[in-house]
Amino acid sequence: MITDYSDIIERVLIDEDSLHKKIKQLAQTINTYYADKGTLILVGILKGSVMFMSELAKELKVDLMMDFMIVSSYAENTYSSGNVKILKDLDIDIKDKEVLIVEDIIDTGYTLKKTKENLINRQANDVKIVTLLDKPERREVEIKSDWSGFKIPNEFVVGFGLDYNQMYRNLPYIGVVKRSVYENIEDAK
């Protein structure tokens, strides 16, 4: 059982307490915005948004439904390919509904831009975006989240739902991955 991740994690970027405080703040803002708008549909982008979405949903005081999509612009590496694919679609009809996309991180923007366009084309009443993390230095397309928790530097991060090769999602904080960890893997491919 591994409990010490010092061989992988360079440093903790955002600690657990800061994450929970920020999520409560985001929820207060979202509660105010959606107070009189009817049922809200949270659309979590799997797999990274699961921890953020579950914590956020617990703090929301509006009627809501939850659904998930798997949307990917990443191949088997740490870099966005720009080619966005829907691998799992919604089960809920969103026509004429208030929709809030819940995403772990906005990086290049490809995934969120295409996802938002897709949901708008389904005639949702309104489509907004909330992201836990925003990495503006990496943006390659024009897209902004309506609400964002933390702006972070251009570093590879894991934890609180974010992964590296499907690992480290369970970390209760956001940690910066040592460059040597993923560069060695990328060089081997």
- Radius of gyration of the CA atoms of the chain, in A: 17
**Helices in the chain by DSSP H: which ranges?**
16-34, 50-59, 110-121, 179-188
Q: What angle do CA 51, 161, 114 make, to 5 degrees?
A: 95
Cis peptide before 128 (omega within 30 of 0): no
- Are 56 and 116 in contact by the 8 Å Cβ rule? The answer is no
Query: Could you tell me if 91 and 66 are in contact, meaning their C-beta atoms sit under 8 angstroms apart?
Result: no
Which residues are marked as active site?
107
Rounded Cα distance between 99 and 175, Å, is 30
Do residues 101 and 116 touch, judged by C-beta distance below 8 A?
A: yes
